[in-house]
Amino acid sequence: MSEEFDSMIEEAIKLEMNISKLYMLFYRLFSDDSDFWWELAIEEQNHAALLKTARQMNKSDVTIPKEMLPAGVEELVDSNHRIMQALDEFEISPERNRAFQVALTFETGAGELHYNTFMKNQDHSVVSSVFKKLNSDDIDHAQRIRKYMTDNQIPDPD
């Protein structure tokens, strides 16, 4: 594909890794929820690994479903910037309830929501099928966060 694809996939990989860093910070900061944050952090790393595989496949001239990435790199850049700000803010002022609210915001943001939609779509290409099989248990983070919040009496701002 093009330079646009290259920059988009790099930014998408960065997004997954940054969200993983944020969840690892939550893992360290909030011991009551450490198992939950650990699991999500690892799954975000898995998402990044799948995107790295897509990058390699693209370099080998394997067609990558365009639905796998959002329409524009700007959304990803903005999300990455906001995640880095959140990392800095939580280092200074950790707050458990806010951690869940911030996680929900990012999980329903452009990059993550788009990824989740791709994983659920009905595309039956070989490449799509492989990615979906590899990542079948790592979707619906927002839904899982909301359930955890409900189960643990953590207020949802919605």
- Each residue of 79-113: pLDDT tens digit? 899 999 999 999 999 999 999 999 998 888 755 54
- CA dist 37 and 147 (Å) reads 14
- CA dist 46 and 58 (Å) reads 18
In a domain, 156, yes or no: no
Q: What domain count does the chain have? A: 1
In a domain, 53, yes or no: yes
- CA dist 153 and 158 (Å) reads 14
Average pLDDT, stretch 39-61?
Answer: 85
In a domain, 157, yes or no: no
For the entire predicted model, the pTM comes to 0.81
Alpha helices in 95-156 (DSSP H): 96-107, 110-120, 126-134, 141-151
Q: Which pLDDT band, with edges at 50, 70 and 90, does 73 fall under?
A: confident
